[in-house]
Amino acid sequence: MDKLWYVVTTYVGHEENVKEKLEARTESMGMQDNIFRVVIPTITEVDDKGKTKVKKMFPGYVFVEMVMSDEAWYAVRNTPGVTGFIGSSGKGAKPTPLQPQEVDRILVNMGISRVDAESELKVGDKVNVIDGPFKGMMGTVDTIDLENSRLNVLIDLFGQETPVEVELYQVSK
C-alpha cells in the first residue's frame, strides 16, 4: 500500500497538541511503518514592523502522511483532540487522500517536499518527474542536495543520458 497524505480535523488552537500526541502515539503503538509525518501547514510572514510571524495556513487542520490501514486509521482517529478526517463520510468509512499536486502546493509553500529525501531517496533510485519541463519522464538520481532541496537526475534525452537539476517537489518515487 502507498503512503498518502490525509487531512485530520482538530479544534482550532489545538494543532500542536494533536501533532505531539499523534507522534507520541505512533511511537508507543509501534505504528512507524504506517504513520510517517505529521505536519501543521504554516507560512512565515513579515509584518509592517519587520517582525517575522509564523501563521497557520489552515487553522484546525493537521496533515498526516500515512498508509491507510485499519490500525493506522484507528490510531489517528482516536488521538485526543482529533475530531475526524476530511473526506470521510463517517460511520467508519476511510477518508479520501489528498491529490499529490494539492500536497505539493502546500508543502512547497512551507519549504518541504512530499518526498522525504533523507529516508526515501538515494543515488541510483529511479524517479518520475511530475512537474516542470521534464514532466512525465523517468530518470535516475545522480546527486542529492538536501540543503537546497534539489536533485540532479539523469534523464534519457534523444538516446543520451542527460543530467537535469530538479526541485525535490518535482519528483515522485
Report the CATH fold assignment for 119-172: SH3 type barrels. (2.30.30)
pTM for the model stands at 0.72
So what's the pLDDT on residue 158?
85
CA dist 43 → 40, 46, 62, 108, 110 (Å)? 10, 10, 14, 10, 6
14-55 confidence digits (pLDDT tens): 999 999 999 999 999 999 999 999 999 988 888 888 888 888
Question: Are 169 and 105 spatial neighbours (Cβ–Cβ below 8 Å)?
Answer: no
pLDDT of residue 20: 95
How confident is the model at residue 48, as a pLDDT? 86
Beta bridge partners of 128: 138, 172
For the segment 98-134, what is each residue's pLDDT rounded down to a tens digit?
887 788 778 777 767 666 666 678 888 898 887 788 8
> What residue segments make up the domains of the chain, in order of their start?
4-112, 119-172
DSSP 61-117: EEEEEE---HHHHHHHHTSTTEEEETT--STTPPPPPPPHHHHHHHHHHHT--SS-H
Considering the domain delimited by 4-112, tell me its CATH architecture: 2-Layer Sandwich (3.30)
**Position 18: which residue type?**
V
Write the CB contacts of 160 (distance below 8 Å, at least 6 apart in sequence).
none
